[in-house]
Amino acid sequence: MAKKTAAKKKATPKKKAPAKKTAKKKAAPKKKTAAKKKAPARKKAAAKKKTSKVPKKAAARRKPKAAPKAAANPRKRETAESMSKRQREISISEFFTKNRHLLGFDNPRRALLTTIKEAVDNSLDACEEAGILPDIEIEVKPIPKQEDRFTVRVRDNGPGIVKKQIPLIFGKLLYGSKFHRLKMSRGQQGIGISAAGMYGQLTTGQPIRITSSTSKNRPAHYYEITIDTQKNTPRIQRDDQVDWDHGHGTQVEIDLEAKYQKGRQSIDEYIDETAIANPHVNISYITPDGKKRVYERSSQDLPPEGREIRPHPYGVELGVLIKMLHDTRSRSVKGCLQADFSRVSARVAGEILDKAGLSQKARPGRIARDEADRLLKAIQNTKIMNPPTDCISPIGEELILQGLGRIEADFYTSVTRSPSVYRGNPFLVEVGVAYGGSLAEEGAVRLLRFANRVPLLYQRGACAITSAVAETSWKSYGLGQSGNNLPVGPAVILVHLASVWVPFTSESKEAIAHYPEIIKDIKLGLQECGRRMAIHVRRRRREADAAKKRDYISSYIPHIANALRNILDLTDRKEARIKTVLTDVLEKSRKL
């Protein structure tokens, strides 16, 4: 109530100042009374201790003699020294144990998907890098007598893993072969599979189990590994040689707490979509109910391998440039620019150095921070060719159509755009659309998002692909749409972003960051498919209209024939003949 009065008085500007005072005056005694009523015992105790716990304001009014400092502020304050005792390094594994949601392990259902996804992504990457057509076996098996616990097993026919690398790959976060390069692959961070193992260890206490063989003539190695999260190092629980009759390849088994549920964002959906974007893959999937589903490869050719490229100078930031100058093997800055970056010829390097006011022979190790700054500005002011784009391997229009063919529709189209660049990184967009057929008329379209051939099932709202689709105007292409929402109608829209470095919004790799260059390119792809779809939709509508009219007119034919028969006193045969002639005329006019 007191608050209300104060607020009302505030509304009258003239009385503002005194009103505040009154409010304060009123409030102060109220507090006092409340304090008196509420805590007589506390008061007694305070008297006993001879240290007063009177509220600050009241204390100021009474102007007590200087009280001892400790008593006025009873809470023990930290000092720089006491804080320093608790300051220590945080290991990456500890960090992600606390923040496992950042890696896609925030609930048991998603954890199951992420685990399978990480293992399958690795298997496909390894097979493709080794030039092997992938055969993947996925099994999700409930652990008997343990509710909500499953064993996930993923086996591939890839090149296998060298023995001494197995513990580090599966028992150490941030250890991998893909982070330090610019090459199109599904994995890029070096966290995926070890994080899945760590989640399993955290929820079931069980180690990750790996069997790997690099050749059918060499023994297979079997490891059981846990992660020492404090040190982010592997702990080997078992290291054996085992019989393995699958040739070369790797098998990963993880026990974990999980939830299996069909439908959207399920592992079934992930595997379906993986088969769409990877027609060269054979997948056999044993469901938790023990049923085996086989996805036969529809293409016998491996996708062309994306080439590894050096960073483009336009994408480099000051800190990175300083580090590159420091780490380079070249003896001069000019040599470093030419050797460590893509698209920098001797002429371009010379032009950059001139603009930066640096000598052609300047030593990279001796470049000061402000000189590096000048160098960066000179790079940005020099015309440098776009990065090479043959480093990206698209799925291809034909194979997208083949993949979409798994969905029953009556119109399909696809577009592979020419490559483009964001922050110095080449990327390429592909779009596919399936329309009509068995697809539901009501509700939003189904949007299939892919990054480097991997289906993205979570964080749809945070993804640049979703924004590009929602910001495209679909009404002119024959779909419904309200505002900037996903379009509505019987369609499936597929968008694939391929890049040497996909800019994910988080470590769980589920949403693409909103780079304007990427959004623009996706929109152009969508518009092209949209235009083709619109032609089909319009034709279908015209045909439907004509069919409706024909049905309407043809319903009159028997009546006309009957009327003519009555007027002209015709025979049955003649009446039938009239019917046939009129139907023929109608058919011919429709064709015209």
Which chain residues interact with Mg ion by CB under 5 A? 122, 187, 192
Query: How near is the Cβ of 101 to Mg ion at its closest, in Å?
Result: 18
Q: What is residue 331's three-state secondary structure?
A: coil
Looking at beta carbons only, is 249 or 487 nearer to ligand ATP? 249
Query: How near is the Cβ of 308 to Mg ion at its closest, in Å?
Result: 17
Query: How near is the Cβ of 452 to Mg ion at its closest, in Å?
Result: 11
Using CA atoms, how far apart are residues 333 and 360, in angstroms rounded to an integer? Answer: 7
| Residue least distant from Mg ion (Cβ) | 187
Query: How near is the Cβ of 340 to ligand ATP at its closest, in Å?
Result: 22
Looking at beta carbons only, is 169 or 208 nearer to ligand ATP? 169
| Residue least distant from ligand ATP (Cβ) | 187
Looking at beta carbons only, is 106 or 507 nearer to ligand ATP? 507
Q: Which does 188 bind (CB under 5 to 8 A by kind): Mg ion, ligand ATP, none?
A: ligand ATP
Q: Which does 382 bind (CB under 5 to 8 A by kind): Mg ion, ligand ATP, none?
A: none
Query: How near is the Cβ of 547 to Mg ion at its closest, in Å?
Result: 53
Looking at beta carbons only, is 156 or 521 nearer to ligand ATP? 156
Alpha helices of 130-236 — where are they, by DSSP H?
Answer: 166-171, 192-204
Name the one residue in this structure whose structure tokens are 């996903």.
486
At 482, list the tokens. 């309200």
Looking at beta carbons only, is 97 or 416 nearer to ligand ATP? 97
Query: How near is the Cβ of 249 to ligand ATP at its closest, in Å?
Result: 8
Query: How near is the Cβ of 140 to Mg ion at its closest, in Å?
Result: 19
Q: Which does 161 bind (CB under 5 to 8 A by kind): ligand ATP, Mg ion, none?
A: ligand ATP
Looking at beta carbons only, is 187 or 436 nearer to Mg ion? 187
Name the one residue in this structure whose structure tokens are 């019987």.
490
Looking at beta carbons only, is 351 or 510 nearer to ligand ATP? 510
Q: Which does 583 bind (CB under 5 to 8 A by kind): Mg ion, ligand ATP, none?
A: none
CB 174 within 8 A of CB 120: no
Single-letter code of the amino acid located at 450: F
Query: How near is the Cβ of 114 to ligand ATP at its closest, in Å?
Result: 10
Pick the closest to residue 466 from 532, 407, 507, 523 (CA basis): 523
Looking at beta carbons only, is 375 or 512 nearer to ligand ATP? 512
Using CA atoms, how far apart are residues 155 and 502, in angstroms rounded to an integer? Answer: 26
Using CA atoms, how far apart are residues 453 and 395, in angstroms rounded to an integer? Answer: 8
Looking at beta carbons only, is 308 or 408 nearer to Mg ion? 308
Pick the closest to residue 433 from 541, 298, 544, 525 (CA basis): 525
- 27 φ, ψ (degrees, to nearest 5): -65, -35
At 192, list the tokens. 């995926």
CB 423 within 8 A of CB 490: no
Query: How near is the Cβ of 420 to ligand ATP at its closest, in Å?
Result: 23
Q: Which does 189 bind (CB under 5 to 8 A by kind): Mg ion, ligand ATP, none?
A: ligand ATP
Distances (CA, A) of 423 to 321, 387, 426, 542: 14, 11, 8, 46
Q: Which does 178 bind (CB under 5 to 8 A by kind): ligand ATP, Mg ion, none?
A: ligand ATP
Looking at beta carbons only, is 114 or 414 nearer to ligand ATP? 114
CA angle 562, 567, 572 (to 5 degrees): 45
Looking at beta carbons only, is 103 or 468 nearer to ligand ATP? 103
Q: Which does 190 bind (CB under 5 to 8 A by kind): ligand ATP, Mg ion, none?
A: ligand ATP
Looking at beta carbons only, is 281 or 372 nearer to ligand ATP? 281
CB 449 within 8 A of CB 455: yes
Which H or E element spans position 450? Answer: strand 446-451
Query: How near is the Cβ of 151 to ligand ATP at its closest, in Å?
Result: 17
Q: Which does 191 bind (CB under 5 to 8 A by kind): ligand ATP, Mg ion, none?
A: ligand ATP
Strands of 279-338 (E only): list them.
282-286, 292-295
Query: How near is the Cβ of 186 to Mg ion at its closest, in Å?
Result: 7
Q: Which does 511 bind (CB under 5 to 8 A by kind): ligand ATP, Mg ion, none?
A: none
Name the one residue in this structure whose structure tokens are 């003896």.
331
Using CA atoms, how far apart are residues 231 and 94, in angstroms rounded to an integer? Answer: 8
Q: Which does 250 bind (CB under 5 to 8 A by kind): Mg ion, ligand ATP, none?
A: ligand ATP
Looking at beta carbons only, is 177 or 562 nearer to ligand ATP? 177
Using CA atoms, how far apart are residues 119 and 116, in angstroms rounded to an integer? Answer: 5
Sequence-distant (≥ 6) Cβ neighbours of residue 464 within 8 angstroms = 511, 512, 513, 514, 515, 518, 519, 522
Task: Give 161-168's long-range contacts (Cβ < 8 A, gap of 24+).
Answer: 161/210, 161/212, 161/214, 161/250, 162/214, 163/212, 163/221, 166/210, 166/212, 166/221, 166/223, 166/225, 167/223, 167/225, 167/234, 167/236, 168/234
At 190, list the tokens. 């070096």
Query: How near is the Cβ of 95 to ligand ATP at its closest, in Å?
Result: 15
DSSP summary character for residue 104:
T
Query: How near is the Cβ of 252 to ligand ATP at its closest, in Å?
Result: 7
Q: Which does 258 bind (CB under 5 to 8 A by kind): Mg ion, ligand ATP, none?
A: none
Q: Applying CB under 6 A, which residues contact ligand ATP? A: 118, 121-123, 126, 156, 158, 161, 169, 176-178, 187-194, 250
Q: Which does 123 bind (CB under 5 to 8 A by kind): ligand ATP, Mg ion, none?
A: ligand ATP
Buried/exposed code over 185-208 (b: 16+ C-beta within 10 A; e: otherwise): bbbbebbbbbbbbbbbbebbebbb
Using CA atoms, how far apart are residues 104 and 119, in angstroms rounded to an integer? Answer: 14
Pick the closest to residue 203 from 266, 167, 146, 255 (CA basis): 255
Looking at beta carbons only, is 94 or 528 nearer to ligand ATP? 94
Query: How near is the Cβ of 225 to ligand ATP at its closest, in Å?
Result: 13
